[in-house]
Structure 1
């Protein structure tokens, strides 16, 4: 199975403290990126594997908007791709494996849509799992602080010739147990798992594809899992809504 504002850590590393509400004036190392609009026409189309200052601007802007592109290093690697996927999905786009960042995405980065809460009267500190769009939203003190790409449970899988339901359960839950690092469950290894219902958890996983692929858990990218673990203490409410794509 499977962020109150604080000074950001040295530029290049994202932490829970560096994730701040867009509605506030961020007093962080990324204040310029958060308050100065991205000039779409001045930025080239980027692809996975690209390097340079445009990638750095992309990473800084994503952090300012509460996504996790990983280390701000000007390299378009896997973690930045995960963040681009999340951003594009939240903007109503349909990302693909190569995750190009063209004029449409740059324009959206300049004037982004803020996702609406899945639960209007939910707890102020909560996680929302949007199965329909394969996204995770985390709120602290009622403000959205993290948006992440995820991969939830697929329809089913086979074990010893038996067809087993692998859908992620929907409903209202709470984190009841946390793992400090890797641990092995009946269906594989989970990284920093935040268990919210029976053996189901929000956890890190090296492989987080653009489709539901887990045995029922909610997979997050590995780097993001470190942040999620800090943002979801025990008893944090977890709401799982929607229907995963087939």
Structure 2
């Protein structure tokens, strides 16, 4: 397994209860007021604590990213949400809010659908930018950082293969309620869309393609993803 941030505590994610409506933006935050509040966010980084971090987490959640618990503590969960936001806004991902990220928080970019005429309920996997988008009733409800196939050769079960994430149009055909063990490792709450390929939780989701072909999502986000991808949900993989 490749290492990026300090290893996420998987047990907390396994026991988390997911309520999908919580993904919705707070009704009290008008776009204009949210932009003014975001403009006041100071420079900060991984490890920081306090009201400014909490404000950042609230802003990310309102835009349908997943910073985890809104607690004012910048840990791994906040970092991966910041990475996703930065990538959507064409900023080099880093565990830091600088001038570019502050400006984007005040005036965020709305990502264009990869498949504009796709199913109303769908997952879009953007391999090029290492992002996952989930739509419900045609509305974007979650954007997440991912790590897909590394495109490197590996040896397993007597033969060589390439760690490639298949591109194309698929559907979720099987789901796992918790951890499963495959010949290539463990998968948490896997949403299988083709053969052994799945969108699943993983403690290590680095800033580069690192999997054997599956689409890794952060552990804390995997519970939300599992709730949003029932059997039959369309999965579009591009890039």
TM-score range, shorter chain: 0.7 to 0.9
Aligned to 1:10: none
Specify the SS of the correspondent of 2:124: strand
Specify the SS of the correspondent of 1:122: coil
Residues in 1 aligned to 2:180 and 2:186: alpha-carbon distance in whole angstroms: 6
Q: Is the 8 A contact 1:124 1:141 kept in 2?
A: yes
Aligned to 2:222: 225
After TM superposition, the score normalised by the length of structure 2 is 0.88
* Counterpart pick for 1:135 among 122, 127, 131: 131
Residue 209 (str. 1) matches residue 186 (str. 2)? no
Q: Is the 8 A contact 2:41 2:56 kept in 1?
A: no
In structure 2, relative to structure 1, the CA distance for the partners of 1:15 and 1:45 (3 Å cut) is farther
In structure 2, relative to structure 1, the CA distance for the partners of 1:123 and 1:41 (3 Å cut) is closer
Q: How does 1:1-80 map to 2 (within 5 A)?
A: 15-20=19-24, 26-27=26-27, 31-32=28-29, 35-39=33-37, 42-80=40-78
Residues in 1 aligned to 2:77 and 2:39: alpha-carbon distance in whole angstroms: 25
Q: Deviations 1:61-120 (Å, cap 9, x if unpaired)? A: 000000000000000000000000000000011113xx1101211111111110000001
Residues in 2 aligned to 1:41 and 1:190: alpha-carbon distance in whole angstroms: 39
Residues in 1 aligned to 2:80 and 2:53: alpha-carbon distance in whole angstroms: 14
* Counterpart pick for 2:86 among 85, 88, 95: 88
| Structure 1 residue runs without a partner (length 5+) | 2-12
Aligned to 2:167: 170
Q: Is the 8 A contact 1:33 1:60 kept in 2?
A: no
Deviation at 1:41, TM superposition (A): 5.2
Q: Is the 8 A contact 2:67 2:79 kept in 1?
A: yes
Q: How does 1:91-240 map to 2 (within 5 A)?
A: 91-96=89-94, 99-159=95-155, 163-240=160-237
Q: Is the 8 A contact 2:163 2:211 kept in 1?
A: yes
Q: Is the 8 A contact 2:34 2:59 kept in 1?
A: no
In structure 2, relative to structure 1, the CA distance for the partners of 1:139 and 1:40 (3 Å cut) is closer
Residues in 1 aligned to 2:18 and 2:103: alpha-carbon distance in whole angstroms: 24
| Structure 2 residue runs without a partner (length 5+) | 2-16
